[in-house]
Amino acid sequence: ASGVKILDEVLQAFNEVKTRHTSRYLLLGLVNSDREIGVLKKAPLTAPYEEFLADLKAYQDQGRGVYGVYDIEYELESKQKRNKLVFVSWGPDNLPIRQRMLIASSKNDLRRKLQGVHKEMQASELGEITEDCMIEVCRQGDLGSN
């Protein structure tokens, strides 16, 4: 464990997304001199997937890794709609070593606190986290989909 504290605002924001679908995604990251994990962004429900990717890239450009919780809606072959919460750990290879270590060592504690996440993805480049990739991960184990 990294000793990084998870702020109460993280659980509050997550529970709002989980129960009321108030945001398309949350970005969570290190704050307060990297001693705590807080909410960096609550994206509106209208936010397109490309905005999520752009946000990940922007944090990468700042030398920061982040976590995301994405409320994805997709369709089964039966045309039935599904929503799932996907936890994303974003730690590109070009981040400073300390940042990558903090992101990796804090991930499990954070993930355990976020009760109700359906799927988990880890990515170090944008090609690993396309919308199609996320939908494919979500469809694994769904009845009525291939």
User: What domains does the chain contain, in order, with CATH numbers?
Assistant: 5-143 (3.40.20.10)
Residue 16 has pLDDT above 70, yes or no: yes
Task: Write out pLDDT tens, residues 114-135.
Answer: 999 999 999 999 999 999 999 9
Q: Write down the pTM of the prediction.
A: 0.93
CB 26 within 8 A of CB 43: yes
| Alpha-carbon torsion (26, 86, 11, 112), positive or negative | negative
